[in-house]
Amino acid sequence: MLQSGGQNLDTEPESGALELEAGAGELGSGRPPRQGYWRLVGRQFGKNRMSVGGLCILLFLFVVALLAPFLAHEEPIYLHMDGETYWFVNVRDIPELRRVNFGQWEPGEGEAMIQPPIPHSPLSVNLRRRLEAPSSDHWLGTDDRGRDVLSRMIWGCRISMSIGFVAVGIAASIGVVVGALAGYYGGYVDSAAQRLIEIMMCFPQLILILALLAFVPEQNIFIIMVVLGVLGWTGIARLVRGEFLKLRESDFATAARATGVSDVRLMFRHLLPNALSPVLVSATFGVAGAILMESALSFLGFGTPPPTPSWGEILSQSQTYINRPDGSWWLVTFPGVAIFVTVCSFNLVGDGLRDAMDPRLRQ
Amino acid sequence: MSMSTDGPLLEVRNLVKHFPVHSGVFGRVAGYVRAVDDVSFSIPRGKTLSLVGESGSGKTTAGRCILRLIEPTAGRILFDGSDITELNRRQVRSLRRRMQIIFQDPYGSLNPRMTVYSTISEAMAVHGLVPRPQRRERVEELLRLVGLSPDAADRYPNEFSGGQRQRIGIARALAVEPDLIVADEPVSALDVSIQAQILNLMEDLQQRLGLTYLFVGHNLSVIRHISDYVAVMYLGRIVEYGSVEAIFNECVHPYTRSLLSAVPEPDPHRKRERIILRGDTPSPINPPPGCHFHPRCPDAQPECAQRRQRLVEVAPGHTAACHVHAPAPEQLVSPMS
């Protein structure tokens, strides 16, 4: 039995007794560039132009969603009024300005105001300007309450993106835990999880969501997120289960077990990082699916409750006015294109990720 | 755990491992694979015992049973004088401070998503061996000990060659300062030139740290190089056991002899007997009755198919299980009908 490791271990290997492998000598000198896994994936992903394009569009949409108050709002970014200077009125609550309607207010003598590029709030109603076609004032027209469509689309981007990500976040968390337990423990745990997944997959998702929403007394976007998340984890759970079934037999899992690592640590620290690639791909597709599902629900009138702007909600208004001479085409086209482009981008990025992570395609 | 300095470090008595074979929709148990079938051996401290055999002979399963990575079906495993087959999960975890394993495949045995540092230091963290501030130093010390540069610690396994990875695997096993290391074919996945380096490293470490090895392998040249004692396994049973000299120079069992005759002979002028076995290894689900080896044995007698022969001492410390070449003493006195 070793009593003190330091004493026994600190001698350098003698050159005669132990010839260093050629590679050990290489370590100091010209070592190859660092090849982390994600670096490899990144390089492979960069080769796929469509996916890179999709990623660029998504990044643009994230920026739009983040900067919504600075892109489309009545309240000014900079205001000089009554001898006082205010900054960032659009994102701060300033009590003395609460009563000012910046939709009508014009700066007088010695006063100044810098508004965001689209000086319309998503919720400010102007019934005199209902259903106007795109013009220089309202770039993408107005809806049936005279609200600016572009402003609502920019704010709707926030809503749609958060629904997509939060729903998939919930779905992935449930899916990873269920899949990990099922795959790792196998046997009865696995059978139970598999039957549950099969039962859930039997129901058409849209109908199940509508049925669930019927039980909710008050609708808001968080409920939509949770419902989409709670019903969407089955695919991810199956993926993770499959990966865990494979990984738990691997030598490094046995090595960790031989080290004395606990089951939880083994599952989440050793196996999960190796099982995440397919989850990431599936989650990317999942975000697209969730956005699409939210739009479909809103279109049917079960989704985001008005007046909260979301793409599907704007789209749903167009149903009523499709019979007008101009067909209120701007209400159909712009949110439709936004949904289409976003969903396409997520799918392209997901495709690219899947290809980049596939070891068989890698050089 | 009691510490006795005399007596073998590891003693295995009548170890049995049967894997159930499921069939059909409802997973009915259709039979058992007798992977390890009544195996006994012991390893003195600081020595190396090799388990030799073809694939499927149960040598790897035996090794993993000893580590309690696979639960044995029956038998007793005495480690440092105390029975470890009865330990609960918690006790097994602390047992793993004293027993470690080195794997065959250097590519599969390291977690590709963990740096060398986290791989090696994990054991110290799990068992609370080295306080966090000193871990880095200790990991670098271990890397130096196995002949790697300390700056390997921050790199990922995919940046290393097979031999280097095997060194990392050895460093991980040494991190808990174990007494016993089960080396599960540690060199058979490596290039021949690198095999020698890893074997020398293992011998060097054994001398310096007083390690005891259970070496599982099939390459007889390697076994001869590293072992003190050899146990030859066939279909889950030990057929011959002895010191490395006894096995390689005075082997008795026909299976051992046929194995040894397959070792390449460097001297082209030297004549040697080459025994080529007929047929394949029988299925361990349904092994032949009596001596498992009798259908392929060149010296088989009718009674070989009737009864199993136990290991019988043919010389001091050298045992074999063969009716023909190692008859049991009582059989000479009163032959059973």
Q: How does pLDDT run across A294-303, given as a tens digit for each residue?
A: 888 888 888 8
The ipTM of this complex is 0.83
Tell me whether B100 touches chain A (CB under 8 Å): yes
Residue A23 lies in a domain: no
Minimal C-alpha gap between B64 and chain A (Å): 9
**Do residues A314 and A255 both lie within one domain?**
yes
Q: Which chain A residues are Cβ-neighbours of B172 within 8 angstroms?
A: 255, 259
Minimal C-alpha gap between A203 and chain B (Å): 26
Tell me whether B127 touches chain A (CB under 8 Å): yes
Residue A53 lies in a domain: no
Q: Which of A23, A254, A257 sits opposite B163 (nearest CB)?
A: A23
**Do residues A172 and A233 both lie within one domain?**
yes
Q: Mean pLDDT, to the nearest integer, of B36-42?
A: 89
Q: Which chain B residues are Cβ-neighbours of A31 within 8 angstroms?
A: 159
**Do residues A228 and A334 both lie within one domain?**
yes
What pLDDT is recorded for position B129? 85
Tell me the pLDDT band of B271, cut-offs 50, 70 and 90: low
Q: In which element (H, E) is residue A267 found?
A: none
pLDDT digits (tens, 9 = 90+) for A220-229: 888 888 888 9
Residue A27 lies in a domain: no
Q: Mean pLDDT, to the nearest integer, of B6-17?
A: 88
What pLDDT is recorded for position A313? 85
Residue A97 lies in a domain: yes
- Residue B331 is which amino acid? Q
| CB neighbourhood size of A319 (10 A) | 14
Tell me the pLDDT band of B335, cut-offs 50, 70 and 90: very low
State whether A37 and B156 contact (CB < 8 Å).
yes
CA A334/CA B54 separation, integer angstroms = 70
- A148, β-bridge pairs: A142
User: Is the CB of residue B71 less than 8 Å from the CB of residue B30?
Assistant: no
Domain that holds residue A247: 149-361
Report the chain A residue with the minimal C-alpha distance to residue B120. A259
What pLDDT is recorded for position A182? 94
Tell me the pLDDT band of A359, cut-offs 50, 70 and 90: low
Tell me the pLDDT band of B106, cut-offs 50, 70 and 90: confident
Residue A40 lies in a domain: no
Residue A318 lies in a domain: yes
A45, A84, A221 from A69: Cα distances, Å: 33, 22, 19
State whether B161 and A21 contact (CB < 8 Å).
yes
* Helices A187-202, A234-247: crossing angle, 10 deg rounding: 150
Tell me the pLDDT band of B282, cut-offs 50, 70 and 90: confident
Provide the percentage of residues in chain A whose pLDDT is more than 90.
23
Quote the radius of gyration of chain A (alpha carbons, Å): 28
Q: Does position A100 have pLDDT exceeding 60, yes or no?
A: yes
- Residue of A234, A206, A235, A209 whose CA lies nearest to A223: A209
Q: Which of A9, A24, A262 sits opposite B147 (nearest CB)?
A: A24
What pLDDT is recorded for position B165? 92
Better pLDDT: A24 or B158: B158
Q: Which of B94, B158, B163 sits opposite A35 (nearest CB)?
A: B158
Residue A169 lies in a domain: yes
State whether A251 and B155 contact (CB < 8 Å).
no
- Residue B102 is which amino acid? I
What pLDDT is recorded for position B331? 52
Minimal C-alpha gap between A253 and chain B (Å): 8
- Domain residue limits, chain B: 10-98+178-265+272-282, 115-176
Residue A330 lies in a domain: yes
What pLDDT is recorded for position B264? 75
Q: Which chain A residues are Cβ-neighbours of B148 within 8 angstroms?
A: 24, 27
Counts of helices then strands in chain A (DSSP H, E) = 15, 3
What pLDDT is recorded for position B199? 92
User: DSSP for A199-237?
Assistant: HHHHS-HHHHHHHHHHT-SS--HHHHHHHHHHHS-HHHH
Structure tokens given for A185: 């423990």
pTM: 0.79
Residues 131-170 of B with CB under 8 A from A: 138, 141-142, 144-145, 147-149, 151-152, 155-156, 158-161, 163-164, 167, 169
Longest CA–CA separation in chain A, Å: 94
User: Is the CB of residue B282 less than 8 Å from the CB of residue B292?
Assistant: yes
pLDDT digits (tens, 9 = 90+) for B182-210: 999 888 888 888 898 899 999 999 999 99
Q: Which chain A residues are Cβ-neighbours of B120 within 8 angstroms?
A: none
Tell me the pLDDT band of A323, cut-offs 50, 70 and 90: confident
State whether A258 and B100 contact (CB < 8 Å).
yes
Better pLDDT: A350 or A317: A350
Tell me whether B122 touches chain A (CB under 8 Å): yes
**Do residues A198 and A324 both lie within one domain?**
yes
Better pLDDT: B257 or A17: B257
CATH number for the segment(s) B10-98+178-265+272-282: 3.40.50.300
- Residue of B74, B7, B127, B158 whose CA lies nearest to A256: B127
What pLDDT is recorded for position A363? 47
What pLDDT is recorded for position A53? 93
Q: Mean pLDDT, to the nearest integer, of A213-241?
A: 87
Q: How many domains does chain A have?
A: 2
pLDDT digits (tens, 9 = 90+) for A173-188: 999 999 999 999 988 9
What pLDDT is recorded for position B272? 67
Provide the percentage of residues in chain B whose pLDDT is more than 70.
94
Q: Which of B126, B159, B167 sits opposite A260 (nearest CB)?
A: B126
Tell me whether B10 touches chain A (CB under 8 Å): no
Minimal C-alpha gap between A30 and chain B (Å): 13
**Do residues A163 and A100 both lie within one domain?**
no
pLDDT digits (tens, 9 = 90+) for A109-141: 778 888 888 888 888 777 887 777 788 788 887
Quote the radius of gyration of chain B (alpha carbons, Å): 21
Q: Does position B37 have pLDDT exceeding 50, yes or no?
A: yes
A263, A294, A304 from A299: Cα distances, Å: 46, 8, 9
- Residue of B47, B183, B42, B43 whose CA lies nearest to B109: B183
Q: What is the CATH number of the domain that holds A319?
A: 1.10.3720.10
